[in-house]
Amino acid sequence: MVMCCLETNKGELRMEMNKLLEDYGCLAFSDDVMKERIPKSIYKAFHESLDNGEELSKECATVIANAMKIWALENGATHFTHWFMPMTGLTAEKHDAFLEPDGCKAVLEFSGKTLRKGEPDASSFPSGGLRATFEARGYTAWDCTSPAFVKDGSLYIPTLFCSYTGEALDKKTPLLRSCDALSKAACRLLPLLGEKGITKVTASVGAEQEYFLVDDKYYQERMDLKLTGRTLFGAMAPKGQELEDHYFGSLKRKVSAFMKDLDHELWKYGIPSKTKHNEVAPAQHEVACVYSKVNITTDNNHLLMQIMQDIAKKHGLRCLLHEKPFAGVNGSGKHDNWSVITNTGINLFNPGANPAENKPFIATLACTIKAVDDYADLLRMSIASAGNDHRLGANEAPPAIISMFLGEELDALLAEICEGKKTSKSDAARFATGVSVVPTFSKDNTDRNRTSPFAFTGNKFEFRAVGSSQSVAGPNTILNAILADAMEKMADEIESGKSFEDVVKEFVLAHKRIIFNGDGYSAEWEEEAAKRGLPNNKNTVDALKCLKEEKNLEMLDRLGVYSRVELGSRYEILLENYIKTIQVEGLTALKMAKSQIYPAVCDYLSKVSSEVIAAKEAGLDVDFLVDDANALAKLVKTMKEQMTTLETNIAAAQASEEEIFEQAVAWRDDVFAMMQALRETVDQLEESIDAEYWPMPTYLDLLFGI
Question: Class of the 26-169 domain?
Answer: alpha beta
303 secondary structure, DSSP code: H
What gap in Å lies between CA 171 and CA 193, rounded to an integer?
A: 33
Is residue 526 within 8 A of residue 394, CB to CB? The reply is no
Count of Cβ atoms closer than 10 Å to residue 637 Cβ: 11
Residue 490, SS3? helix
What gap in Å lies between CA 554 and CA 557, rounded to an integer?
A: 5
What gap in Å lies between CA 501 and CA 572, rounded to an integer?
A: 43
Beta-sheet pairing, 79-83 with 95-97:
antiparallel
Q: 1.20.120.1560, 3.40.50.1390, 1.10.10.10, 3.30.300.30: which CATH number matches 577-705?
A: 1.20.120.1560
> Dihedrals φ, ψ of 581, to 5°?
-65, -50
DSSP-assigned beta bridge partners for residue 336: 207, 463
Largest CA distance in the chain: 99
* Residue 617, burial from CB neighbour count under 10 angstroms (0-12, 13-18, 19+): exposed
Total number of residues shown for the chain: 706
Q: What is the pLDDT of residue 63?
A: 95
Closest alpha carbon to 601 in 529, 503, 543, 688: 688
Q: What is the mean pLDDT of each run of 10 residues along the chain (706 residues)?
A: 58 73 92 95 92 86 96 96 91 92 85 89 72 70 94 96 88 97 97 94 96 98 98 92 81 94 96 91 94 95 97 98 95 95 95 91 97 97 95 71 91 86 57 58 56 90 95 97 98 96 95 90 87 94 96 98 96 96 98 97 90 74 75 94 98 95 97 98 95 95 94
Count of Cβ atoms closer than 10 Å to residue 88 Cβ: 14
Q: What is the pLDDT of residue 376?
A: 97
231 secondary structure, DSSP code: -
Q: Which contiguous run of DSSP H or E holds residue 226? A: helix 223-228
Is residue 145 within 8 A of residue 53, CB to CB? The reply is no
Q: What is the pLDDT of residue 128?
A: 73
What gap in Å lies between CA 157 and CA 152, rounded to an integer?
A: 13
* 177-427+441-562: CATH number: 3.30.590.10
The CA-atom distances, in angstroms, between 303 and each of 284, 413, 527, 552 are 20, 41, 41, 31
* Residue 410, burial from CB neighbour count under 10 angstroms (0-12, 13-18, 19+): buried
The reply to whether the predicted model has a pTM over 0.85 is yes
DSSP-assigned beta bridge partners for residue 168: 162
The CA-atom distances, in angstroms, between 200 and each of 48, 299, 305 are 13, 21, 30
What gap in Å lies between CA 271 and CA 27, rounded to an integer?
A: 10
Q: What is the pLDDT of residue 367?
A: 98
* Residue 145, burial from CB neighbour count under 10 angstroms (0-12, 13-18, 19+): middle
Q: What is the pLDDT of residue 648?
A: 98
> Dihedrals φ, ψ of 151, to 5°?
-145, 130
For the chain, the straight-line distance linking the first and the last C-alpha, in angstroms and rounded, comes to: 39
Beta-sheet pairing, 404-405 with 292-293:
unpaired
Report how far Cα 155 is from the mean position of its chain's Cα atoms. Answer: 25
* Residue 13, burial from CB neighbour count under 10 angstroms (0-12, 13-18, 19+): exposed
Residue ranges per domain, the chain? 26-169, 177-427+441-562, 577-705
Beta-carbon contacts of residue 501 (< 8 Å; ≥ 6 apart): 417
